[in-house]
Amino acid sequence: MRSRYSAYVRGLEAYLLATWHATTRPVALDLANTPAPKWLGLEVMSHGEVGADATVEFVARCRVGGRAQRIHEVSRFRREDGRWYYLDGVMR
């Protein structure tokens, strides 16, 4: 989770796509063509792991166009071949 947050901060689309599970991965993210947020922080609220599946609840704070925003999500991850992949998330 923290590495994906860092990739969003740095605009590393290739890393984000590489860590996205093949069954839910979009073709592209196109971060360069959206208003660039200024990321302010990440707080992991909780996490849990059951076998090859995990969930992470987090709050990420950013500023877009001078307006503060808060992203509160519960993300699902799956481990394959020793690596974790993002499946999807539900906004809270």
Q: How far apart, in whole angstroms, are the C-alpha atoms of residue 40 and residue 29?
A: 21
Query: In the structure, what pLDDT confidence band is assigned to residue 28 with cuts at 50, 70 and 90?
Result: very high
Query: In the structure, what pLDDT confidence band is assigned to residue 85 with cuts at 50, 70 and 90?
Result: very high
The pTM (predicted TM-score) of the whole model is: 0.91
Domains of the chain: 2-91 (3.10.450.50)
pLDDT tens digits for range 29-79: 988 877 889 999 999 999 999 999 999 999 999 999 899 999 999 999 999
**54-65 per-residue burial string, b: 16 or more CB within 10 A, e: under 16:** bbbbbebbbeee
Q: How far apart, in whole angstroms, are the C-alpha atoms of residue 17 and residue 25?
A: 7
Quick one: pLDDT at residue 34?
Answer: 77
